[in-house]
Amino acid sequence: MRKLTLRKNEERRLLAGHQWIFSNELAEIPKDIPAGEVVSLYSHSKKFLGVGFFNPRSLIAFRLLSRSEEDVSREFFEARFRAALELRKKIYPDKKTNAFRLVHAESDHLSGLIVDKFDSVLSVQTFSAGMERLLPEICEALQTIFSPSAIVIRNESELRALEGLERYKRLERGALEGKVEICDDDLFYLVDAMNGHKTGFFLDQRENRKKIRALAQNADALDVFASDGGFALNACKAGARSVLAIDSSEDALARAVANAERNGFRQLETLKADAFEALEALAKEGRRFDLVTLDPPSLTKSKKNVPTALQAYRKLNRLALSLVKPGGFLATSSCSHHVDEAEFFNVVQRASLDAKREIALLEKSSQAPDHPILLSMPETKYLKFGLFAVR
Ligand code: SAH
């Protein structure tokens, strides 16, 4: 195994629990090591630190996989997957769900790998050159543990470019006909693992969706950026009088409608539109709602665009708040990695002043526990969620 050496004192972040080394922290970048090769890492004073992936083309030059001298083989992945599975079984012990995020990258000591399990179908994403190279071993290990009916690779993220990786999707193993049905407590969702957004379905909001239920009883609810209807369906389940789901994707709304039918809900209406335009139009029409949920896609993929993203969050939350009846509620989210919680809530507060509403925070939270967060690695946290009473 090739060896990399750090510059003096650059091991501090790693020793504090982080898993990345940036290119400027290495003593040298050997250009002859191919992207994604497993290497060992040493401090300036020649102390062994661990093994991980090297990528000479990425700003994240080294991704730690193990702090001991392990072979990164099929067996390595099997052991990591079994540990990840044990945690999810503890988090979701009863058989009320057949879907969870099995692997949340660094949080499961697998830098650059995401695996979601939708009943018997596994959906895989790789974000590091190393995980891309080892996809055959990864799929072998998944096959051994789960005997899945299908494994799909959903490598369409633009973030892959940062590691020099192409974008593609494919059915890697097994057969996949149409959708796979998952349940989350008392709701059913039909997941299109091959064509749905990201891995096929957003599991990260699963707990937050349930938090709106008490407030959705007899409500006129508006779900903005509804996708497959996660929040909208929970509002229906809670007995909302009417639910309007807005999304710019016709396919996503078709899935939301199919999900409503599957659960026997009749209140759901959909509107294919740009959210900003639709919110303005609804305000002009004088429409008001008891509950508005906002769940936009990531509004910035980079640090430098954070100010623009914050402006967009401010506008969205202002528009949404202006549609809430006095005594109503707003559930607002941000999944932008680069916007931190304090910044996000600050912007929501400013939006409330813009909209001339007082808002009271009832609850804030983050991603579901099958997406664990390492406090030593802020990058593993991305979702911010706030539930507000609107006066
Ligand atoms: N709330 C959903 C997840 C939303 S993901 C859930 O609980 O599962 C973000 C959604 O925003 C995607 O479905 C995407 O199609 C939609 N979207 C992106 N840009 C949009 C825009 N400008 N207007 C409306 N919808 C948009």
pLDDT digits (tens, 9 = 90+) for 171-187: 999 999 999 999 999 99
Q: Active-site residue 139, yes or no?
A: no
Look up residue 316 and give its two tokens.
């969205």
Q: Note the pLDDT of residue 133.
A: 98
Neighbour order of strands in the sheet with 99-104: 99-104, 113-118, 121-126, 150-155, 168-174
Q: From the CA of 190, how far away is ligand 1's center (Å)? A: 17
C-beta of 197 in contact with ligand 1 (< 6 A): yes
Is the pLDDT at 94 greater than 90? The verdict is: no
Please list the helix, strand and coil fractions of the chain in percent, rounded to the nearest 5, in that order.
35, 30, 35
- Going by alpha carbons, the residue nearest to atom 7 of ligand 1 is 230
Q: Which CATH class is domain 3-66?
A: mainly beta
Which sign does the torsion angle of CA 158, 159, 162, 166 carry? Answer: negative
Q: What is 202-390's CATH topology?
A: Rossmann fold (3.40.50)
74-180 and 3-66 share a CATH fold: no
Q: Is 229 exposed, middle or buried (0-12, 13-18, 19+ CB in 10 A)?
A: buried
Tens digit of each residue's pLDDT (9 = 90 or more) over 333-378: 999 999 999 999 999 999 999 999 999 999 999 999 999 999 999 9
The answer to whether 54 and 33 have CB atoms below 8 angstroms apart is: yes
C-beta of 205 in contact with ligand 1 (< 6 A): yes
Is the pLDDT at 299 greater than 90? The verdict is: yes
Q: Note the pLDDT of residue 209.
A: 98
Q: Which atom of ligand 1 sits closest to the CA of residue 205?
A: 7
C-beta of 297 in contact with ligand 1 (< 6 A): yes
Q: Which of 248, 291, 295, 382 to mutate to test the pocket of ligand 1 (most atoms within 8 A of CB)?
A: 248
Q: Note the pLDDT of residue 95.
A: 83
Q: Note the pLDDT of residue 301.
A: 86
How far, in whole angstroms, is CA 54 from its chain's centroid? 25
Q: From the CA of 116, how far away is ligand 1's center (Å)? A: 19
Rounded average pLDDT over 112-138: 98
How far apart CA 330 and CA 332 sit, in angstroms, is 6
Q: Which of 116, 118, 207, 225 to mutate to test the pocket of ligand 1 (most atoms within 8 A of CB)?
A: 225
How far apart CA 229 and CA 246 sit, in angstroms, is 9
The answer to whether 235 and 211 have CB atoms below 8 angstroms apart is: no
| 3-state SS, residue 275 | helix
Tens digit of each residue's pLDDT (9 = 90 or more) over 216-256: 999 999 999 999 999 999 999 999 999 999 999 999 999 99
C-beta of 339 in contact with ligand 1 (< 6 A): no
Look up residue 329 and give its two tokens.
């509620």
CATH number for domain 74-180, candidates 3.10.180.10, 3.30.750.80, 3.40.50.1820, 1.10.490.10: 3.30.750.80
Residues of the chain with pLDDT > 70, as a percent, come to 100
How far apart CA 18 and CA 328 sit, in angstroms, is 42
7 CB-side CA count, 13 A: 10
Rounded average pLDDT over 305-328: 97
C-beta of 367 in contact with ligand 1 (< 6 A): no
Q: From the CA of 12, how far away is ligand 1's center (Å)? A: 39
C-beta of 250 in contact with ligand 1 (< 6 A): no
Q: From the CA of 194, how far away is ligand 1's center (Å)? A: 18
Annotated domain spans of the chain: 3-66, 74-180, 202-390
Q: Note the pLDDT of residue 215.
A: 97
Q: Note the pLDDT of residue 187.
A: 98
| 3-state SS, residue 318 | helix
Look up residue 48 and give its two tokens.
């062994």
C-beta of 225 in contact with ligand 1 (< 6 A): yes
Q: Which atom of ligand 1 sits closest to the CA of residue 277?
A: 23
Tens digit of each residue's pLDDT (9 = 90 or more) over 286-297: 999 999 999 999
The model scores a pTM over 0.75:
yes
Segment (H or E) for 154: strand 150-155
Tell me the pLDDT band of 47, cut-offs 50, 70 and 90: very high
Neighbour order of strands in the sheet with 60-66: 3-5, 37-42, 48-54, 60-66, 20-22
